[in-house]
Amino acid sequence: MSGRNVYMETITYLFKRNKRFLIAFTVFTAILLTGLLGPILYPVDPYYMGFPIQLPPCWSHPLGTDRFGRDILAQLLYGIRTSLYIGFLVAVVSTFLGTLLGSLAGYFGGWLDSIVDGLTNMLLTIPSGFVLIIVTAYIPNRTVEILAVIMSIFLWPGYARGIRGQIKSLLNSDFIILSRVSALSSWRILLEDILPNIMVFIVVNFASFLGSGIWMETALSFIGVGALRTISLGSLLYWAGTLDAIRRGLYWMFIPPGIIITATVTSLQVLATSLEPVFNPRLREVGIAEV
């Protein structure tokens, strides 16, 4: 059972046959590259207020300027980078937390399980969107990192549940029982036997959390409780709102950010769901092109 080959097979199959996956992959990579390289290739300071105000798109300012004279394209490029960074942070923290707590709960069971279960329960019952907004508003020092941690707090519980469930079912499988009987240390079992098998779940959720993080941060910034003095896709829309861009018809301020947000989140979601059959044999049987 050479797992490696099957993975590579299905991935190349995905690229060749699943058009939707291909499109999503291209879109996301394009956005990623724009975020990484954009500010370098277009080195305009997004905070600088010296340009002529309210210019529509033109050669020197491809996306025009806003009411204060800031270049919109520079803000957009910078914003993509910030949003991706935040999404990444959120994904890392929540995946880490969720995997750690979920696997400890699932593997060791007992009182650890009860505590994690209780915590998860509590966090899942509260209306996370609403509470997130209020809690964020109360934080006086809103940096990108702190926000990412707060957002992760609401993401990890559902995921941890899933991890726990996966591990519990794995514990019943033969090879694990074999490892346990052969008195391998718990950590070795966790790392060598269990982890590879839940890798799929982790990776898929990571991609999905990337999207969630971007989505949440954008929403928070739009209301005005995002990170202070930070340019992100959401803050672009926030400024469009406060500077009355809609009433004044400054479409270049609010149309591009929304497109990018939708594209990023959608492509990440497609990637996440498309990757599932790569690792999940049952879905593979049904036919990858289906999903």
At residue 247's C-alpha, the angle toward residues 246 and 253, to 5°, is 30
Binding site for other proteins (CB under 8 A): 20, 47-50, 53, 67-69, 109-111, 114, 118, 121-122, 125-127, 129-131, 133-135, 137-140, 168, 215, 218-219, 222-225, 228-229, 237, 240-244, 246-249, 251, 254-255, 257-258, 261-262, 265-266, 269-270, 286, 290
- Long-range CB pairs of 36-44 (<8 Å, 24+ gap) are 36/81, 38/77, 38/78, 38/80, 38/81, 39/74, 39/77, 39/78, 39/81, 42/73, 42/74, 42/77, 44/71, 44/73, 44/74
**C-beta of 248: minimal distance to other proteins in Å?**
7
CB closer to other proteins out of 96 and 243: 243
CB closer to other proteins out of 26 and 262: 262
179 by DSSP, 3-state: which?
Answer: helix
**C-beta of 151: minimal distance to other proteins in Å?**
16
CB closer to other proteins out of 227 and 278: 227
**C-beta of 138: minimal distance to other proteins in Å?**
4
**C-beta of 4: minimal distance to other proteins in Å?**
27
- In the chain, DSSP finds a helix count (H) and a strand count (E) of 12, 0
**C-beta of 2: minimal distance to other proteins in Å?**
27
* Cα 29 to Cα 225: distance, rounded to the nearest angstrom: 29
Structural tokens at position 41: 């290739």
CB closer to other proteins out of 59 and 138: 138
